[in-house]
Amino acid sequence: MYGKQSYLHLGENIDVDKYIITEFYVESDKSILEVAEALAAESSIGTWTDLSTMDADIMTRLGARIFYANEEEHIVKIAYPLGLFEAENIPQLLSDVAGNVFGMNEIINLRVRDIIFPKAYLRTFDGPAFGISGIRKLLGIPERPLLGTIIKPKVGLDADRHASVAFDAWVGGVQVVKDDENLSNQSFNPFEERVVKTLAMLRKAEDITGEKKMYVPNISAQASDMLKRAEFVKAQGGIAVMMDILTVGFAGVQYIRDQNTGLVLHGHRAMHGAFTHSTKHGIAMLPIAKTARICGIDQLHTGTIIGKMHGGEEEVSAINNAMRCEWGNLKKTMPIASGGVHPGLLQKMIELIGNDVIINLGGGIHGHPDGTKSGAIAASQAVDASIAKIDLNEYAKDHKELQRAIDKWGVYKDESLLVPKNNSLITYTYGLTEGLM
């Protein structure tokens, strides 16, 4: 029997090139050190008891190392030797650092706040094929924030109506039209028919506007169907597809990325609230977003700060920084701000989020009193006003579509919305690992 195994290495100087580091928030009836030992064992090589099969070599090479534990803050930081991980295998990574640990009896609450990856691990992934610069190049828009829309109603339109609503949005001024997260291949709007008809409308809109447009059909399904659908989109001349990255799973995302289809990969994050909503339990959006970038998502939903969905300024900014920063050889992922956005919010949103973003308006375009085309024109006018730094109300005086949108939804003015919402318990600087991703 290899005596009692301890994973405690408090204060140890961790070589950040050799470990994947995970920061946990932990609540337990046990002391922080006891629960940290249990976490480290279960997420690396051990179990609930000492083992006759364990030896010093396994322990040294592959044992997790608890290098920080703070009872008051409920924070534990654990370094996992790179040797524990298979290259290019996100399911295995998550089964380690975010797997069984969530089911342990001693846990009252547990939250993965961040995961920090060494360069050697990152190098095993291709990351985004296009990234921010590739998307901008495809659309011929070097600097301006990009505008997108989600066809609404979420589902229910047939393929003809879907395509004609998309056309109205494109000619009104948006660059990107996407399917909603719950539209796939239902009988009322079959995938192939929708793609053919919507891409025909895209070409028409491109001819009329002289601008390049993007249609993002949702291919989320079983992996084999996703591939067939992606190939179909490519064959029809499409340039992008969307996956619901969490319901599809990272293996599904990796499977499609590995095919090198030459399509921009758009990541919707439906279901993320199940992991990210609580301040104390689950997995923060930051490590989920980093994982999506590693897996090759070119454009990812990351929050609006002032829209309808959860996510305050501190959290969304941390995530967007992680998408846009230099990170090994990985291209940068374009953040998408989406959910409850209308033209009256755009100026503030661009001020908060910056230009490297796709801002999606669903209801905020199709709910315009004069219809989709006017909604898209209004959104485009709001972006123009933001770039020219002209107050939206002022600009609306001689831009009637914007004025009509403002009459319906108003202009952002509630500074209290900027107070970080309650799920921003995220740190992105670290004692020993400060400045690392």
Residues that bind ligand RUB (CB under 6 A): 150, 152, 180-181, 269, 301, 303, 308-309, 338-341, 361-364
Q: In this complex, which beta carbon is closest to ligand RUB, that of residue 131 or of residue 363?
A: 363
- CB closer to ligand RUB out of 44 and 304: 304
**How many angstroms separate the CA atoms of 41 and 97, rounded?**
11
Complex with ligand RUB: residue 21 or 219, whichever CB lies closer: 219
Provide the total of helices (H) and of strands (E) in the chain, helices listed first: 18, 13
Q: Catalytic site residue 397?
A: no
CA–CA distance, 398 with 393 (Å, rounded to integer) = 10
Catalytic residue among 74, 77, 152, 399: 152
Burial 219-251 (b: 16+ CB within 10 A, else e): bbbeeeebbebbebbeeeebbbbbbbbbbbbbe
- Site of tokens 């010093």: 56
Helix (H, G, I), strand (E, B), or coil: what is residue 49? coil
Query: How many CB atoms are located within 10 Å of the residue 56 CB?
Result: 11
State the nearest-atom distance from the C-beta of 14 to ligand RUB, in Å: 33
β-pair partners for 147: 359
User: Does the annotation mark 74 as catalytic?
Assistant: no
Number of residue whose CB is nearest ligand RUB: 362
Among the listed residues 74, 197, 268, 348, the single catalytic one is 268
Nearer to ligand RUB, 128 or 375 (CB): 375
| Sign of CA pseudo-dihedral 370, 182, 357, 202 | negative
**Shortest separation between residue 408's beta carbon and ligand RUB, angstroms:** 14
142: DSSP letter? S
Q: How far is the CB of 327 from ligand RUB (least distance, A)?
A: 22
Decide the pairing of beta strands 19-27 and 109-116.
antiparallel
Closest CB to ligand RUB among 39 and 309?
A: 309
Q: In the complex, what is the shortest distance from the CB of residue 368 to ligand RUB, in angstroms, rounded to a whole number?
A: 12
What are residue 69's phi and psi, to 5 degrees?
Answer: -150, 125
Nearest to 395 by CA among 405, 382, 408: 382
User: Could you tell me the smallest distance in angstroms from the CB atom of residue 299 to ligand RUB?
Assistant: 11
Active-site positions read: 152, 268
